[in-house]
Amino acid sequence: MNVAGRIGPNAIIRVAEVLPSRVGTDLTRRLFDRAGLVDYLTAPPQSMVDEAEVRRLHGVLRESLGPAAAREIAHAAGVRTADYLLARRIPKPVQALLKVLPAPLAARVLLTAIGRNSWTFAGSGRFSYVVGRPCVLTIRDNPLCRGWQAEEPACDFYTGTFERLFTVLVHRNAQVREVACEACGDTECRFEITW
């Protein structure tokens, strides 16, 4: 299934959960208002959202709070997204199986599932992966950072999500680094996963 131009609502909902403890409820409301998404604070989206809304919210965070704070908030929202997926989307028997498989095999199984569901987070972008040491995940024409300019990788929402999933399901020492980013002028956003 491909719903081009739409992304799952977690990239908005989890930011709304993280922000108040970091910046307070008043500033959270102002940031969502500036992004044109203030209604989501009282009625969170229940289905896929326009990827432009996600990009706009994350862009407002960067512009208003600065890149470092925005990265921290996006990463925390990504971790919360992974926790949501673990609690509600990835069946418990599958989780139990992944945890006992050797890490390379668990990584292969998990990445196959992520690849099948990439339409939920990559939207109109193109996701691919290579299983290995490291595992390499790429998003081309990434809707989250499309049109941005940054001096360092800017896709911390994805980094937080992938790292939490891999830490819980593949290897407790898993680490994810974004080593290339379209916002920095690279041809793709590339994430390396090691353990």
The answer to the question of residue 1 being in a domain is no
Q: Which of 51, 53, 58, 67 is nearest to 143 (CA)?
A: 51
The answer to the question of residue 90 being in a domain is yes
Q: How many helices (H) and strands (E) does the chain have?
A: 8, 6
CA distance 154 to 107: 24
Percent of the chain with pLDDT over 90: 98
* Range(s) of the domain holding residue 162: 6-194
pLDDT for residue 3: 54
The answer to the question of residue 154 being in a domain is yes
Q: How many domains does the chain have?
A: 1
Q: Are strands 175-180 and 189-194 parallel, antiparallel or unpaired?
A: antiparallel
- pTM, entire model: 0.96
We report the CATH number of the domain holding residue 55 as 3.90.1520.10
**Which tens digits make up the pLDDT trace of 23-38?**
999 999 999 999 999 9
* Mean pLDDT estimate for the chain: 97
